[in-house]
Amino acid sequence: MFERSVELYDLIYSDKDYEGEATWIRDAVRKRCPNARTLLDVACGTGRHLAALQISFASEGVDSSPEFVNLARERTGAPVHQGDMDCLDLGKQFDAVICMFSSIGYSTNLNDAIFSMARHLYPGGVLIVEPWFTADQWMTGSLQVLVREADGLRVIRMSSSSVEGSVSVMEMHHLVGTPSTIEHFVETHRMTLFSFDEYESAFRRAGLSYELAQPGPSGRGALIGQTPK
């Protein structure tokens, strides 16, 4: 999972259009829940969606990593909780709950994760989940190379993809260079390749409606559910 790369996260994803995605999220929430005022971002990372959504909603975040929690708090000043999406219980409700950038793939129990998110919704509240790849979509044996540079820091990340049963595995080699040092470290990310049937079943079991919006905020699609009013 994310370990050493936490501090490089914003540089690695510096070309991601968080503002544009936040506009998509805001519109999707308002279309279904016009008076929505509050939002919870589950697996919020460094808080870039949160920062963009704070203008529209009183927003809070959750992440399992203390390092990401601190970065999101620093960026937004919003309440950001440490918690696991598979058993989250903040004891409060929101008008919208989101889980973006395919973070749902890190769940080890999809039904528990969707149930946990749904219980944080008021009646009529909206859940938006950006899915991870399905088994059919996942390509094993592919290599991805990413190069980023800022403020005298150079990062090269080369990732290889494989699969273990229904779990996609990405071995990510990082070279991080400054004028004085070059560091190499490896992180292994494991994300479950849930099917759309499994997503729909988890939404319905949690008492939510289910729709798949394409292309969604970033081209990965969006799973959208709503609790009964």
Ligand X SMILES: C[S@@+](CC[C@H](N)C(=O)[O-])C[C@H]1O[C@@H](n2cnc3c(N)ncnc32)[C@H](O)[C@@H]1O
Q: Which residues bind ligand X (CB under 6 A)?
A: 2, 43-45, 48-49, 63-65, 68, 84-86, 100-101, 103, 106
Q: How far apart are CA 45 and CA 155, in angstroms?
A: 19
Residue number closest to ligand X, CB atom: 45
Q: Which residues contact 130 (CB under 8 A, 6 or more apart)?
A: 99, 100, 101, 102, 103, 104, 216, 217, 218, 220, 221, 222, 223
Q: Is 46 strand, coil or helix?
A: coil
CB of 89 to ligand X, least distance (A): 13
Half-sphere CA count of 62, side-chain side, radius 13 A: 22
CB of 182 to ligand X, least distance (A): 25
Q: Which of 179, 122, 173, 188 is nearest to 143 (CA)?
A: 173
| Residue 72 burial (10 A CB sphere; 0-12, 13-18, 19+) | buried
- Taking the least distance from each CB to ligand X, the nearer of 1 and 58 is 1
- Taking the least distance from each CB to ligand X, the nearer of 21 and 95 is 21
CB of 98 to ligand X, least distance (A): 8
- Taking the least distance from each CB to ligand X, the nearer of 64 and 227 is 64
CB of 106 to ligand X, least distance (A): 3
- Taking the least distance from each CB to ligand X, the nearer of 19 and 182 is 19
CB of 187 to ligand X, least distance (A): 12
CB of 180 to ligand X, least distance (A): 29
- Taking the least distance from each CB to ligand X, the nearer of 49 and 157 is 49
CB of 57 to ligand X, least distance (A): 16
* Number of Cβ atoms within 10 Å of the Cβ of 115: 19
Half-sphere CA count of 32, side-chain side, radius 13 A: 24
- Taking the least distance from each CB to ligand X, the nearer of 86 and 200 is 86
- Burial profile 79-112: b = 16 or more Cβ within 10 angstroms, e = fewer: ebbebbbbebeeeeebbbbbbbbbbbbbbeebeb
| Residue 125 burial (10 A CB sphere; 0-12, 13-18, 19+) | buried
- Taking the least distance from each CB to ligand X, the nearer of 3 and 178 is 3
